[in-house]
Amino acid sequence: MAQLAGVSPKTVSRVVNDEAGVSEVKQGRVRRAIEQLGYRPNMTASRLRRADGRTAAIAALLEDIANPFSSALQRALEDVARERGVLIFAGSVEEDPERERALVHEFARRQADGLVMVPAGDDQAYLNRELSPDTPVVFVDRPPVGLHADAVLADNEAGAAAAVHHLVAHGHRDIAYLGDLRSIATARQRFTGYREALAEHGIGRNQAHVAHDLHTADAAEAAFLAMLDAPNPPTACFSAQNLVTLGAIRALRRRDRHTSVALVGFDDFPLADLLQPAVTVVAQDPYAMGRRAAELLFRRLDGETWDPSAHVVPTRLIPRGSGEIPYRSAST
């Protein structure tokens, strides 16, 4: 290749590895030779020759790549990484602490340059043993436990409180709560926002209308059907996760209550605006969260230092129809 391009082997190496110090003219000759010869660099060998020993790969541990929230996070990470010529390798932890640890171990064994993760377990201190000290870690959506590291989080309590305030403003006082697993920090935060917002309005919680640990649409549907079929059903519902919201919608439609019981969901989801009524949501911005996480990680890789901290991305309430259904008494 060097002979074809009319340059030295060292110049070819510099161009292939994106190193500085090569004129544009010589870069052009080398790249034309690469294209003509159909050359594909050996990335493993390239890494062994690099002074910094980096692999140009970042590991991402997400909750479930099939979930729209996780998909948006991954896309944002990829977009930022692509600007740097870096690849993202992603895996789903699926709320399983053992799976989380196994994925971390495999990514560490493959010497990923950095790690972005949505933790499933309640203790991430093991990362101090699993990763080298110079491997940066940024947490997304949930804060780390037992580890001092950067985290990019949504304002879960404020978002949940906004949903309750919105429903109360439309006359509702018996507002059901459908929540995800209590082992998840964000689920606990959203329940806290719900509970405190009710207290602000002097509204006591009806424990019969509170359901936790609903991690699937089917579980949420069953729980909400039981509430709707009870003698004194709720007049409104706050569903605290997008799959839980889908279950709530199914339950309302099965009982033909989707135009009489108000609903606000936490997390937007595809086609929410096309349902009848369209679904009012507290929207996070997973793409912004992913970009922020990637930017923090690459700043660490570039050598910047600072005391790790939480970076909070605000939520916003999007009124679409389901959350604006007014309270109607049973006699109406």
Q: 69-109, pLDDT tens digit by residue?
A: 999 999 999 999 999 999 999 999 999 999 999 999 999 88
Q: Which of 170, 162, 166, 169 is nearest to 190 (CA)?
A: 162
pLDDT tens, 142-154? 999 999 999 999 9
User: Which H or E run contains 168?
Assistant: helix 156-169
* Per-residue pLDDT, 332: 52
pLDDT band at 13 (very low <50, low <70, confident <90, very high): confident
Provide the sign of the torsion angle of the four alpha carbons 301, 304, 305, 306, taken in this order: negative
Count how many Cα atoms sit within 13 Å of the Cα of residue 307 in the half-sphere of its side chain.
Answer: 0
Q: Which of 187, 159, 153 is nearest to 289 (CA)?
A: 153
Averaged over 170-189, what is the pLDDT? 95
Q: How many CB atoms lie within 10 A of CB 265?
A: 28
Higher pLDDT, 218 or 46: 218
Amino acid (one-letter) located at 178: L
Higher pLDDT, 28 or 221: 221
Distance set, CA 77 to CA 71, 138, 212, 262, 304 (Å): 10, 12, 31, 35, 19
When the pLDDT of each residue in the chain is averaged and rounded to a whole number, the result is 91
Percent of the chain with pLDDT strictly greater than 90: 74
pLDDT tens, 297-326? 999 999 999 999 999 999 999 999 999 999
Averaged over 189-218, what is the pLDDT? 96
Assign residue 146 a region: left if phi > 0, alpha if psi is -120 to 50, beta otherwise?
left
* Per-residue pLDDT, 48: 41
Assign residue 137 a region: left if phi > 0, alpha if psi is -120 to 50, beta otherwise?
beta
* Per-residue pLDDT, 52: 56
Q: What counts of helices (H) and strands (E) characterise the chain?
A: 12, 12
Note the helical H segments in 9-96.
9-16, 24-37, 43-49, 68-83
Q: CA-to-CA distance for 86 and 222, rounded, in angstroms?
A: 44
pLDDT band at 44 (very low <50, low <70, confident <90, very high): low
pLDDT band at 6 (very low <50, low <70, confident <90, very high): confident
pLDDT at 330 over 90: no
- Say if CB 227 and CB 176 are below 8 A apart: yes
Percent of the chain with pLDDT strictly greater than 70: 93
Q: If you ran DSSP here, which 8-state letter would residue 325 be given?
A: P
Q: How many CB atoms lie within 10 A of CB 93?
A: 23
